[in-house]
């Protein structure tokens, strides 16, 4: 299933993409794609529906993030071997886990804001994992059963706050709009192996990032298991799992985002994000 949320910010309604690519309204079945509605019982009810019987959403609607409530937004640093090599950093022995404020979550086509003083903004296309069931100290062999689905994430970062300055990653990665998610939440039955997915990112029509989740140092299952040893993962928690090579900080010459730039990011089976960088007054 490809689940989504449509409507203006703060007023999104749950939907599902039917076989013809049209949006059907799910609000008669679930209140929102959040909390227990991301669990297996809820998804079983949705999967049993015939999308053709659901109300058709007419016209062009804004797509919001496909998760209505994100209790924790976690990221993984240097999780692609070739990305670690391009930065000159050693290969991590254990996952590097950091946090993004959940207030940075935005929709897949919403503008990314460039505030005054942020002059080293960078892009990072990433596979995002959404937790569907409470997970505490789970093993890697069972970890994927706790996943509600997958979506495209983009870990926008202000490098001046992360590198060469007051290096607190959460400040560098948490400004409003620095966490685009979507367009859809794709359930695991459509992504049987999350370690075989192609990722790309284009900046103003030029290919900047190309990768495959097969080159992750720590797999999705490893990450869910590892994190659950240190904190309980809850329905709606999002984990962005690292980025392939080609980030602006590592390029020669360096490339940083500026107002007017346009980003297109894709992951196999998960659709695409398109957004524009906009100066914030």
Domain boundaries, the chain: 2-53, 73-279
Nearest CA to 241 out of 190, 172, 181 is that of 181
Please determine, for residue 245, whether its predicted confidence score (pLDDT) is greater than 70. yes
Across the range 199-212, mean pLDDT stands at 98
Residue reference for tokens 């022995």: 93
- Structure confidence by residue, pLDDT tens digits, 118-176: 999 999 999 999 999 999 999 999 999 999 999 999 999 999 998 755 557 899 999 99
Alpha carbon 86 to its chain centroid, in Å, reads 22
Q: Which two tokens stand for residue 74?
A: 């976690």
Percent of the chain with pLDDT over 90: 90
Euclidean distance between the first and final Cα of the chain, in Å? Answer: 39
CATH of 73-279, one of 2.40.40.20, 3.90.850.10, 3.30.70.141, 2.60.40.1250: 3.90.850.10
- 113 pLDDT band, cuts 50/70/90, is very high
Residue 18 · residue 52 · CB < 8 Å: yes
* Token code pair at residue 171: 């400040």
How many Cβ atoms are within 10 Å of 262's Cβ, its own excluded? 12
- Strand pairing report for 112-114 and 272-279: parallel
Q: Tell me the HSE value of 12 on the side-chain side, using a 13 A CA sphere.
A: 22
Cα-flanking dihedrals φ and ψ of residue 171, to 5°?
Answer: -70, -35
pTM of the predicted model, to two decimals?
Answer: 0.96
- Stretch (H or E) spanning 272: strand 272-279
């Amino acid at each position: 299933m490809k689940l989504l949320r449509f409507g203006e910010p703060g007023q999104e309604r749950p939907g599902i993409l039917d076989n013809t690519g049209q949006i059907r309204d799910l609000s008669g079945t679930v209140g929102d794609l959040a909390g227990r509605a991301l669990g297996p019982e809820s998804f079983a009810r949705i999967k049993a529906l015939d999308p053709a019987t659901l109300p058709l959403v007419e016209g062009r609607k804004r797509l919001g993030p496909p998760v209505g409530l994100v209790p924790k937004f976690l990221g993984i640093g240097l999780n692609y071997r070739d990305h670690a090599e391009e930065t000159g950093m050693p290969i991590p022995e254990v996952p590097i886990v950091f946090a993004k404020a959940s207030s940075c979550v935005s929709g897949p086509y919403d503008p990314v804001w460039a505030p005054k003083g942020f002059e080293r903004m960078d892009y990072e296309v990433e596979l995002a994992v959404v937790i569907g069931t409470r997970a505490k100290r789970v093993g890697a062999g069972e970890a994927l059963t706790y996943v509600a689905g997958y979506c495209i994430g983009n870990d926008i970062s202000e490098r001046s706050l992360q590198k060469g300055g007051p290096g607190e990653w959460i400040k560098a990665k948490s400004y409003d709009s620095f966490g685009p998610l979507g367009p859809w939440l794709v359930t695991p039955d459509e992504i049987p192996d999350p370690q075989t997915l192609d990722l790309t990112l284009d900046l103003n029509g030029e290919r900047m990032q190309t990768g495959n989740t097969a080159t992750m140092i720590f797999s999705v299952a490893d990450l869910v298991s590892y994190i659950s040893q240190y904190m309980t993962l809850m329905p709606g928690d999002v984990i962005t799992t690292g980025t392939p090579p080609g980030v602006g900080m590592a390029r020669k010459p360096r490339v940083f985002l500026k107002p007017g730039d346009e980003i297109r990011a894709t992951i196999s089976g998960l659709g695409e994000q398109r957004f524009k960088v906009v100066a914030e007054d």
